[in-house]
């Protein structure tokens, strides 16, 4: 049971931890922002549309950064 839980936990959170590590090396403000979004999504009220809203917001932010590379969002 412990190995099953560990594999689920590693699969779920390993990507988030690697992203936070990379963001922390680049800019602490981005790391704090992403950590706050993750905390609100994990610990906040369970609304069915919250993951979709977060995903769409991150997709729009990624498109804005890709299309406007000289825009300083930091």
Q: Each residue's pLDDT tens digit in the chain (74 positions)?
A: 878 877 777 777 777 778 778 878 888 888 888 888 888 888 888 888 888 888 898 889 888 878 887 777 65
Total domains present in the chain: 1
Query: So what's the pLDDT on residue 32?
Result: 86
| Phi–psi pair at 72, nearest 5 degrees | -90, 100
Q: Please, which residues have CB within 8 angstroms of residue 71's CB and are 6 or more apart in sequence? A: 64, 65
The parent domain of residue 32 ranges over 2-67
Q: Whole-model pTM?
A: 0.59
Asked, for residue 28, whether it belongs to a domain, the answer is yes
Asked, for residue 54, whether it belongs to a domain, the answer is yes
Asked, for residue 74, whether it belongs to a domain, the answer is no
């Amino acid at each position: 049971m412990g190995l099953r839980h560990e594999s689920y936990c590693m699969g779920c959170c390993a990507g988030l931890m690697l992203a936070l590590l990379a963001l922390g090396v680049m800019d602490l403000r981005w790391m704090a922002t992403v950590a706050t979004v993750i905390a609100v999504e994990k610990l906040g009220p369970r609304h069915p549309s919250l993951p979709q809203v977060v995903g769409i917001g991150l997709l729009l932010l990624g498109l804005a950064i890709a299309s406007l590379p000289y825009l300083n969002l930091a």
